[in-house]
Chains A and B, each alone.
Chain A
Amino acid sequence: MKLLATLLLTLCVSLAWAGEATSPKIDIGKGGECVKDPQWMRKNHMHLLKHERDDAVRKGVRDEKHSLKNCIECHASTKDDSVIARDDSFCVSCHRYEAVKIDCFECHSGKRKSAWLQQREAK
Chain B
Amino acid sequence: MSDIDQMSIDRARRNFLKTSAGAAALAIAPGMMLFQVAHGDTQGASDKVRWGMLIDTNQCKEGCNDCVSACNKENGLSGKTGPTDSQWIRKIEIKDVSSGRELSLPMMCQHCEHPPCVDVCPTNASMKRADGIVLVDKHRCIGCRYCMMACPYKARSFVHEPLTDQNPDVPRGKGTVEACTLCVHRIDQGLKPACSEACPNKAILFGDLNDANSEIAQKVRAVATTQIRADLRLNPGVRYQGL
Q: A residues bordering B, Cβ < 8 Å?
A: 53-55, 57-65, 67, 69, 72, 106-109, 111-113, 116, 119-120
What are some 21 contacts across the A-B interface (CB < 8 A)?
A57-B139, A59-B45, A59-B129, A60-B41, A60-B131, A61-B41, A62-B40, A62-B44, A62-B188, A63-B42, A67-B40, A106-B173, A106-B174, A107-B138, A107-B173, A108-B166, A111-B168, A112-B168, A113-B169, A116-B167, A120-B73
Q: Which A residue sits closest to B45, measured CB to CB?
A: A60
- A59 with B44: CB separation less than 8 A: yes
**B130 CB to nearest chain A CB (Å):** 7
Are B42 and A61 in touch, CB under 8 angstroms? yes
Interface centre among B129, B135, B166 (most CB of A within 10 A): B166
Q: A53-B139, A57-B135, A57-B139 are in contact. Are A108 and B168 (CB under 8 A)?
A: yes
Q: List the B side residues contacting A69 at CB < 8 Å.
A: 168-169
CB of B165 within 8 A of CB of A109, answer: yes
Is B8 part of the binding interface, using a Cβ–Cβ cutoff of 8 Å?
no
Contact pick for B38, options A64, A109, A120, CB 8 Å = A64
CA distance A111 to B168 in the complex (A): 7
| Given A57-B137, A119-B165, 17 additional A-B pairs, CB 8 A | A53-B139, A54-B137, A57-B139, A60-B45, A60-B184, A62-B41, A62-B44, A63-B42, A64-B40, A65-B40, A69-B169, A106-B174, A107-B172, A109-B165, A109-B166, A112-B168, A120-B73
**Binary flags per residue of B109-131, CB closer than 8 Å to A gives 1, else 0:** 00000000000000000010111
Question: Is the CB of B19 closer than 8 A to any CB of chain A?
Answer: no
- Tell me, yes or no, whether B86 is within 8 Å of chain A by CB: no
On chain A, the residues within 8 Å of B176 by CB distance are 107
Residues on B with C-beta less than 8 A from A108 are 166, 168, 171
- Given A64-B39, A113-B168, A106-B44 contact (CB < 8 Å): no
Query: Residue B30 at the A interface, CB < 8 A?
Result: no
Contact with A along B126-169 (1 / 0, CB 8 A): 01011100010111000000000000000000000011011111
Chain A residues with CB below 8 A from B173, complex form? 106-107
Tell which of B39, B73, B138, B184 touches A63, judged by Cβ atoms closer than 8 Å: B39
